[in-house]
Structure 1
Amino acid sequence: MSAGVDIFARLWRAALLRRGGLWLAGAVPWLLLRSGPGLLAWSAFCAWDGLRLQRQVAHGWTAWLDGAVPELEDSAVLLLHAESPLAQLQRQRLLSRVKASLTGARVRAIVRERVRLGLPWLAGSLALAALAWGAVLPPHGGQPAAAALPALQKARPAAAAPELLVKLAPPRYTGVEASSSAPRDVQAPEQTVVEWCLKNPAAGAETIELSDGQLLHAGAQCARWTATESIFWRWRGARYTLKVLPDAAPEIVVTQPNEIIKELARDATQAAMAISVRDDYQVKQATLHLTLARGSGENIRFSDREMPIPAGHDPRRRDWSKNWAVSELGMEPGDELYFFVRATDNAAKAHTVQSPTYTLRLPAPPAAEDEQVSALPVMVKPESLRSQRQIIIDTEQLIADMRVGDVRVGDMRVKKMDAATVRERSESIATDQAALRRRYGQFLGEESTLFGKDDHDDDHGAGNGKPQDVLHEFGHAHDQAENATLFDDATKKVLRRALSAMWDAEKALRAISPKTALPPEHKALEAIKELQQSERIYLHKTAFAPPPIKEDKRMTGDMAGAASNRREQSAAPDGIPAELRALVQALAGDGPLPALWTRTAHDWVRERIAADEQRLAAQRAIQDVADGCLPCRPVLRAWLRGAVHEAPVLLQATPKVETPFERAARGGLQ
């Protein structure tokens, strides 16, 4: 680290010697004029120039060495930071090279190439000194000077600095009054008209620079802008923030009932409702929608009604509560009441929101329920199917029980299952699997089963007095059972995979091999899960209608507008524009930036950064870089790279053509 400091000190000393002549030459005219203010101003410039020169040397001396000393092999940064043992070894090797190659003449040559003399600053100082010398010369006569004094006094008010006034005109529906003030940080509602006006337009036009890149000019007419997003604006180097408050939608809060589905007591006579609607400016309309459901089964009747929620003293909120009588709501035992609240604000583009639907349920008396149930005879035994997961659990339990031998558990002796019990349990599980398979087979149009009660005999009842199904035996079907369903091909494929796995599991269970049946059962469960988690697809069954053929173009061989049937390999998707890539690469150095880079940066920040604070910080970095701030470039580069949410990963190989001559040359070098 000390060696790096020594090299930096040598470069800094050479830079001071090169720039010192400028500082001394610029002070000579002010010493001759004996002007204290001029000499003080030049001293301040020399101090500022010295600090700027020091930052320039400290920031780029390693790059200077890499460009001027080839012996360093672009590794001058190791002279400052060498943490690993390998880096320290490389650093010692570079130090030995620097001592031999970095002579005084070479240091002066490096500084001469990188540090300018600053002759424009010297020319400016001499010009100002000449103007000051001309101002102190005595006039040729007293009368012209006296005559010029009133004209100078008249010209002074015209040269006064212009004053800026910021006017805010919020939308009328907000109820916020218009205001005007000097430049400062303000908050304004959305769609507020902002005007920048000059009190003395005769002083000249002023430029207002917005953070999104727009330039507004305030002169004889005020500069106008409609507030759609939070920004900051700059005038004469000072930045002021304008925060836009978006118009929020109304907020609906239902405090009574406190549950989405509220079941009242059987003897309840009242039902409470408490509703609160709030908006940031005004609630224009709020209504309560009630729907009463009565009946059961297919004999259900609905009755709707709507009532407004009254407004209060505060237009920004409406609070309403009421204890309804059950008879007032029209509810009877066994009825259900559904209600929701809909609210609208007074915005130019009104926001309408709706609350969740709440349910008030009044249970039926127990006697009525008993009579209703007893009056309906059970005609058909409800179908009960075991799920595929239950079948897997039963199979695993059977396998575990088959492994258990004659063991003693405490005072009880557990005996191994005999073959008859194993067969009975395996057949029972196979029956459950067959029932589940038949249920899923109905979705593919299957009617016959294996080992089921609905199976048809091979002879179709011939010989036992039953009628023979001649149509199915000798007929010819023009369609398939699977095509008679409303499922797409992907769903049918998953169904066939599940049925095939169920068939394999059932065959293994019938063969008293539960261990072999377990893998197909898991496959069937995975297929069933895939069916349950898949999205519903609406299939519009219609015939294909090809476009009409143009007879004047037919058989002419004209291929204009025809699509090629060859499939080309698509390139890797590039989510980052090429202009942004070039800008990010340019920001890594001190070189010139691409053309129209500010537009590229503003578009990327506006599109990818949604939060106001982060977007404004990125736009500040854009302005700073546009003003020539070199240390601000890494900040802007970080904002641009941080806005890349999903960077593409390129895994494609780079095509490379190698000629026989190149292969022979590479082999000779090896």
Structure 2
Amino acid sequence: MNAVDARLRNARDAARRRAWVDAALVAAPWLLVAATLAWRTHAAPWSLAVVVATLLAGALHAWQRGRGFDDRWLARQLDARRRDMDDSADLLFPHATPDTALQHLQRERLRQRVQNGSAIDLRAPWHIRGLLVGAALAAACIVAIVLYPATQPATRTTPATPEAAATQARPARLVGQRIEIRQPAYTNLPTRSIDTLEAKIPEGSTLHWQLDFTPTPRRVELVFHDGERLALRREGGSWIGSRRIAKPSLYRLQLEHPLPPEQAGPHRLEVVVDQPPQLRALQPRQTLSLLEPGQRSWTLEFEATDDYGLAPNARLQITRTIGGGENITTRKQVVTLRGRGDPTGKRYRHRIDLAALGLVAGDDVIARLSISDRRAPDPQTTQSPSYILRWPPEPIPTATDLDGLVKRVMPAYFRSQRQIIIDAEALLKEKPALAADRYLARSDAIGVDQRLLRLRYGQFLGEETGGTPKVLPTNDAQDLQQVILGEEPAVAAAEPHDDEHGDEHAGDLQRQPTFGEEQAVLEQFGHTHDHAEAATLLDPGTRKLLRAALDEMWQSELNLRQGHPELALPYAHRALAFIKQVQQAERIYLPRIGSQLPPIDPSRRLGGEREGLGDRRDPLAEATTADPVVAEAWRALAPVTTGEAATAPDLDALADWVASHETGDADPLELAVAIDALRRDANCLDCRQRLRQLLWPLLAPPPAGTGERPSAGPVGNAYLDALGREARP
């Protein structure tokens, strides 16, 4: 075989392998579906037949795909994919022998092209979309098969005839069991069946037992751990009974003759308690929100989830408070909301129009959402925290007296350092266009402004303000108003006073004191601003920051007055940084008052009066356990040495105590199982040890002990003895 034939054969073989792989990928998901079906049906004969049929169908499909790759297919593919074949690829194969010299020449030419041309690739492209669709359908079938509830008939043997009754010599034996679980309607869960005597069920489910015995017993009862009994009735060859289970329980089968130990129980019924709805606020994030400027509405959004399903509607209670102080009234309204989402998870959204609600400054809007689940007949309800939208009233600055000032914001003129920086930077930009004297005059004017600001800050550190011109605003109330409105304070600069060493009040601010202004009252009746230690309007940390800012302002002023704003800018920036820290500080003035204790009455000291004192000779009462049942049982279960008789605990009293008391973290069903095991075998050492371990967390902690009173010493003992002799008649 020459190179041309080898190339053609390799191309055909590669295309055949690609077809087989493609067929396998198509059949593999459905083979998994058949295998899952066989597993789910416990390898039933018909399911095995489905598996075999799927294998045969896949093999037949692969064989049919592979047998079509012959010479004629190869010729068609070459003509379709390569133009240099000139639709004459059929001449390359032995079945097409050239009849003419022209055909022979064409054949040689084609073989030469195949030999010298590029590699031949005739493989079909992957059908990705088809493979994905097939795999998705197969996966859906597998999920449906796995999740489909299996209903299996109860395992039965040959039905017992009425003549085959249980006897003492031949006791009955359980040969088949089936429990039908009818789950509550609010869970939306279908009825299901199990073939075991233990189950995990939703709260409030109804169980329907169907039990088969051989030989047939005369009576069958279900005895629960709380003492209740359920007598089963006989229908045909089975014993049937129903009961609604609302709490975790243990039960065992009781016949006229004991069952084998492996079937005697007890059997456990675990109850899944319905959880209340879970509610989470998405908007707002915090419980207290302040009304923003221009806000016209308030949007509330909540998310609720429940394990079985939520009620169709939720209730949003909106309360508006009106007034202030002791004259507050409320208006309430309830809005019904319908959520969006599936039954187990919904979102609720509501927008409150504040204008329609009539909200004014000083009012609050309080919203609270409540949602219930579909539990019947007693649905569980969950309420969200109260979310408050507050429109704060206008702040009213007040003062108590000369010594105590209420907490307030810092004055507005603590922000004017930025304007000095802006003016200095603007002057540097205009320097090329200004004359030297004009440049120096403007720099000196900015330096004067820096000095004025420095002197104003110095008032809060006890510095003198000699030579300070009139400064506006002159009222802290105006400062506070400017802070609220976000305005910059107006500073009117005048020529500075050169005499800073004259009379101590010569440089004070030339203004008339305002009635009720705390700074004016302090200036009129006191003189503490010239002593740094007496300046207590600021706390020590804030005074330290302000002192650093004044130092930087001094250097900035020095360079500005000398006509060097470029050297003054670094100091001005640092001063601004310190001032921003001062802005963030809180100012609280603490009154300098001492503690005023009531005067001491000397006539009552060491008077020897003992009226109202108790008897020191009262004995200590012995501590007793409030409920000694658990403690007595725990002591009775203590291990004994060889040769000693074990003490039998009162299991009936212990069982009654477990049924009527909260056991905390201990599992009451585990306690019931341990008590039942010890009741059936009183000599079981492992059962005694197991029950003792379960009782340990239920023991009450011992009461706190009392220690011996320390001796009072010789003098104290003599005094106490004298008191005792005096008290005796």
TM-score (normalizing by structure 2):
0.38
TM-score (normalizing by structure 1):
0.41
Higher helix share: 1
- Find the structure with the greater CA-based Rg: 2
